């Protein structure tokens, strides 16, 4: 740790007060996480009326104990009244036994053998997007990596998995962004809230139409699979299918988009690693793993307590909101050597917390790693130069999702 970080972390010049809603914290939360792990591993956060939890072992234990730490409030906490299918909780917001039944169905689409079948298509999609960029901006110049590549790529992959028309991917992306921005609804005025409500409705209307169309013309896409599959002799209801499709869209788009954007930022910040990976693309998976550890797309998730309990000696009453800070667990000094150092050669001895742990462990973890690897291979093969035009980063205005809001890059084709 540098002397500045040491001081920031409360070592020399007093304490940093972690408040996830503070713009400084949203911009650079990591020094605050150091302070939390060291001095206040369970902290009451008045602005969010929740307990933040910062250490790896505490987070690991609570995520594996779904009886005490329920997921039931995840979606309501995240989206509030902007949930596109409020009648039916998606599986990320369910507890056993209902959660397991839905997960068994969805899991079929995400096993490695299925995902590997998409690999060639991911290369094609990434190449088509690069073709579009070159057609629009020429053989060299500048473009916005966040909006013109990373935003469009995962939404196209997920749209294909679900079996929805890819022509509408740009609209999809806007809806997903708007619906997810409901996490910050407390800070928004009526105009922005009306805009979010409109996107919520459009997303729902779109999937209702798609459901009705698919019921009449079943295909080999995932929505058709959801429509036909039976759980314990019962088919999923229309709302269950809508809720599942929308969860996959929301879960699968912004996360991988942000992983790709943050990867380019971290490579730019660590030029020695950038040079190595440009010369040797087989290092891409190691780079992605280190970005997932060091600066992960999902910083925080949500639980609530079903009984009175205790974490790290702090008594927590039943019915409390809990926010496990996954990004802090990934830098826990007791699990990772020199955790504040970006090191693609590190030996990782414990699972990263980036995709969660326990029964809700991310269904898309294998898909997103595969997608991101294909995308970077294409980007580094097609461009001889691609780097952010500035070292200044405009991070998303979110304590929950981490990634660049915009990322202007200069580029040259090979």
Which residues of the chain form contacts with ligand HEM (CB under 6 A)?
71, 74, 91-92, 103, 158, 247-248, 251-252, 255-256, 259, 296-298, 301, 326, 354-356, 360, 362-364, 367-368
Q: 191, 229 in Cβ contact below 8 A?
A: no
Q: Which is nearer to ligand HEM, 8 or 256 (CB)?
A: 256
Q: Which is nearer to ligand HEM, 68 or 354 (CB)?
A: 354
Cβ contacts of residue 174 below 8 Å, gap of 6+?
A: 199
C-alpha span between 146 and 1 (Å, rounded)? 30
In whole angstroms, how close is the CB of 248 to ligand HEM at the nearest point? 5
In whole angstroms, how close is the CB of 13 to ligand HEM at the nearest point? 34
The residues that bridge with 103 in the sheet, in sequence order, are none
Q: 291, 262 in Cβ contact below 8 A?
A: yes
Burial class from Cβ neighbours inside 10 Å (0-12, 13-18, 19+) for residue 222 reads: buried
In whole angstroms, how close is the CB of 373 to ligand HEM at the nearest point? 12
In whole angstroms, how close is the CB of 146 to ligand HEM at the nearest point? 15
C-alpha span between 327 and 29 (Å, rounded)? 9
In whole angstroms, how close is the CB of 93 to ligand HEM at the nearest point? 8
CA angle 145-155-84, nearest 5°?
Answer: 125
In whole angstroms, how close is the CB of 345 to ligand HEM at the nearest point? 21
Distances in whole angstroms, Cα of residue 258 to Cα of each of 62, 114, 117, 325, 401: 26, 24, 24, 17, 8
In whole angstroms, how close is the CB of 253 to ligand HEM at the nearest point? 8
In whole angstroms, how close is the CB of 217 to ligand HEM at the nearest point? 23
Angle, helix 238-269 to helix 169-181, in steps of 10 degrees: 90
The residue sitting closest to ligand HEM, measured at its beta carbon, is 364
Q: Which is nearer to ligand HEM, 130 or 259 (CB)?
A: 259
Other beta carbons within 10 Å of 31: 21
C-alpha span between 384 and 365 (Å, rounded)? 29
Q: Which is nearer to ligand HEM, 256 or 328 (CB)?
A: 256
Helices marked H in 283-406: 284-294, 326-329, 365-382
Other beta carbons within 10 Å of 212: 10
Q: Which is nearer to ligand HEM, 133 or 301 (CB)?
A: 301
Q: Which is nearer to ligand HEM, 8 or 255 (CB)?
A: 255
In whole angstroms, how close is the CB of 355 to ligand HEM at the nearest point? 5
Q: Which is nearer to ligand HEM, 60 or 411 (CB)?
A: 60
Q: Which is nearer to ligand HEM, 106 or 130 (CB)?
A: 106
Q: Which is nearer to ligand HEM, 111 or 198 (CB)?
A: 111
- Of the candidates 151, 118, 77, the one whose C-alpha atom is nearest the C-alpha of residue 396 is 151
C-alpha span between 357 and 303 (Å, rounded)? 13
The residues that bridge with 50 in the sheet, in sequence order, are 45, 321
């Amino acid at each position: 740790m540098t002397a500045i970080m040491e001081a920031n972390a409360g070592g020399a010049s007093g304490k940093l007060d972690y408040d996830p809603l503070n713009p400084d914290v949203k911009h650079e939360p990591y020094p605050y996480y150091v302070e939390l792990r060291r001095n206040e591993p369970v902290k009451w956060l008045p602005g969010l009326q929740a307990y933040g939890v910062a250490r790896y072992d505490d987070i690991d234990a609570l995520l594996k104990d779904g009886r005490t730490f329920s997921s039931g409030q995840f979606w309501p906490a995240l989206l509030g009244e902007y949930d596109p299918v409020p009648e039916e909780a998606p599986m990320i917001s369910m507890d056993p036994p209902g959660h397991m039944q839905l997960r068994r169905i969805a899991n079929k689409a995400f096993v490695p053998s299925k995902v590997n079948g998409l690999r060639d298509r991911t290369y094609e999609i990434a190449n088509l997007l690069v073709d579009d960029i070159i057609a629009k901006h020429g053989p060299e110049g500048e473009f916005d990596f966040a909006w013109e590549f990373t935003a469009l790529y995962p939404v196209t992959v997920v749209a294909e998995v679900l079996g929805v028309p890819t022509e509408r991917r740009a609209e999809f992306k806007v809806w997903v962004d708007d619906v997810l921005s409901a996490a910050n609804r407390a800070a928004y005025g009526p105009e922005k809230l009306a805009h979010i409500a409109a996107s919520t409705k459009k997303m729902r209307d779109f999937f209702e139409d798609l459901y009705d169309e698919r019921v009449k013309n079943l295909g080999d896409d995932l929505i058709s699979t959801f429509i036909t599959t039976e759980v314990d002799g019962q088919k999923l209801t229309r709302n269950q299918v809508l809720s599942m499709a929308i969860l996959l869209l929301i879960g699968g788009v912004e996360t991988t988009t942000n992983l790709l954007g943050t990867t380019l930022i971290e490579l730019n910040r660590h030029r020695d690693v950038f040079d190595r990976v440009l010369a040797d693309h087989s290092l891409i998976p190691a780079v992605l793993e280190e970005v997932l550890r060091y600066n992960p797309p999902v910083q925080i998730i949500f639980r609530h307590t079903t009984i009175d309990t205790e974490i790290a000696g702090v008594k927590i009453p039943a019915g409390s909101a809990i926010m496990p800070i996954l990004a802090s667990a990934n830098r826990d000094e007791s699990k990772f050597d020199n955790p504040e150092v970006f090191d693609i050669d590190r030996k990782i001895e414990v699972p990263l917390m980036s995709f969660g742990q326990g029964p809700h462990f991310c269904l898309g973890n294998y898909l997103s790693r595969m997608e991101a690897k294909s995308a970077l291979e294409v980007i580094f093969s097609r461009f001889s130069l691609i780097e952010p035009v500035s070292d200044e980063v405009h991070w998303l205005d979110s304590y929950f999702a981490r990634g660049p809001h915009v990322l202007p890059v200069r580029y040259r084709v090979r």
